Amino acid sequence: MALDIDGKVALITGGSNGIGEGVARHLAGRGAHVVIADIDVARGKAVAEELDGRFIRTDVTDAAASAAAVALAVEAFGGLHIAHLNAGVTSWCGMGDDFDPEAYRRSMAINLDGVVYGIAAARPAIMASGGGTIVATASMAGLVAVPFDPIYAANKHAVVRLVRSLGQSYEADGIRIHALCPSFAYTNIIKGSEQTLLDMGFPIIDVAHVVGAFQRILDAESTGQCWYVVAGRDSEPFAFRRAPGPRLD
């Protein structure tokens, strides 16, 4: 059964374009109040105004900025029910002679710290609103090896493990938490690299496919799962194998 989100309040980081914008438009179209949190002020304001929502400039690497975004949602619309922690960048800093410490730190700060700070800020507001859902945008790079961008893979793997680790404990607070793990989609994050990715054998998916997966997550009754989104398949939770335990003989 589809979750009724009419009148619910949603915060979307990285909501001015790409997957975040697609999710914001989808939620607003179903009656949700949306708050767009992004560093792109011009585009973020335009999207928020079009959706009758709110915008706040948010650098997700700053814990106080994430807290301010949540506070705006509560102040403007009376609560928070959905947090989509979507802001992200590629790293391309390498792990050989091309290693760039600044690119590494930026990638980890946005892709991992931004999720951690967003979860910490959203949790009490969602609890106070009677419960809801947190969705962190990870990536298929969080489920497989990515030799051409190992740092990106590292922070996305960390998001996947964070979500899996929080699922059960947050369930007692009335919060379901999931990771959205799309393969490459037509967004700014791959702009200029589309043909290279296609030549490497990576089909590129439409943002609408990812938005559909986001709705499947909202409709699910489970928690702590990581939903893959790849070409030609319906999105569903990835089935992790259990790690081997100790031998007792």
Kindly indicate the confidence band of residue 146, based on its pLDDT and cuts at 50, 70 and 90.
confident
pLDDT at 195: 64
- Of 152, 170, 186, 228, which residue is the catalytic one? 152
117 has catalytic annotation: no
Q: What is the mean pLDDT of residues 29-37?
A: 98
Work out the percent of the chain whose per-residue pLDDT is above 90. Answer: 78
* Dihedral angle, C-alpha 114, 119, 120, 124, nearest 10 °: 150
Q: What is the mean pLDDT of residues 222-232?
A: 95
Kindly indicate the confidence band of residue 151, based on its pLDDT and cuts at 50, 70 and 90.
very high
Q: What is the mean pLDDT of residues 155-165?
A: 98
Alpha-carbon distance of 166 to 151, in angstroms, equals: 23
Could you confirm whether domain 9-237 is CATH 1.25.40.390?
no
Asked if 113 and 59 count as a contact pair (C-beta separation under 8 A), the reply is no
Higher pLDDT, 192 or 204: 204
Q: What is the mean pLDDT of residues 180-185?
A: 87
What sign does the dihedral 159-165-169-174 (CA atoms) show? positive
Kindly indicate the confidence band of residue 197, based on its pLDDT and cuts at 50, 70 and 90.
low
**Whether pLDDT at 192 is above 70:** no
Higher pLDDT, 191 or 206: 206
Asked if 178 and 165 count as a contact pair (C-beta separation under 8 A), the reply is no
pLDDT at 135: 98
Kindly indicate the confidence band of residue 199, based on its pLDDT and cuts at 50, 70 and 90.
low
pTM of this structure: 0.94
**Between the CA of residue 68 and those of 46, 74, 125, 245, what are the distances in Å?**
20, 10, 12, 43
Q: What is the mean pLDDT of residues 59-74?
A: 98
Assigned token pair, 108: 């980890």
Strand order in the sheet with 175-182: 54-57, 33-38, 9-13, 82-85, 132-137, 175-182, 225-229, 236-237
